[in-house]
Amino acid sequence: HYRAVGASGAVSAIVFASIIIQPLSPIRFVFIPVDIPAFIFGGLYLAYSAYMAKRGQDNIGHDAHFWGAVFGIVFTIILKPALFSGFLSQIGKFLGA
């Protein structure tokens, strides 16, 4: 086992902090010509990173991506707790709740 953190973990933290602030921001991939809300991307990204970290068959720091994302979420909420209720409110409106 080894531990590694690089720029990708820090980038994940920033991306997920922005997802907490604006969960409905559109994200588009080059190979999928449809926008998806940031919070859906975030859920898929976390699931993929966790799965690939357990699999461990490549040289990509999936653990750094996953824990960087978790750090971005937690740190953002610690800095400004009201953002979490805004996050939930925006998602609730999106889902029609």
Question: Rounded to two decimals, what is the model's pTM?
Answer: 0.86
pLDDT the model gives residue 1? 60
pLDDT the model gives residue 4? 61
pLDDT the model gives residue 58? 77
pLDDT the model gives residue 5? 55
Retrieve residue 64's tokens.
């750094």
Q: What residues of the chain score a pLDDT lower than 70?
A: 1-6
Amino acid code (one letter) for 84: F
Indicate the domain borders of the chain.
Answer: 7-95
Q: What are φ and ψ of residue 30, in 5° steps?
A: -60, -40
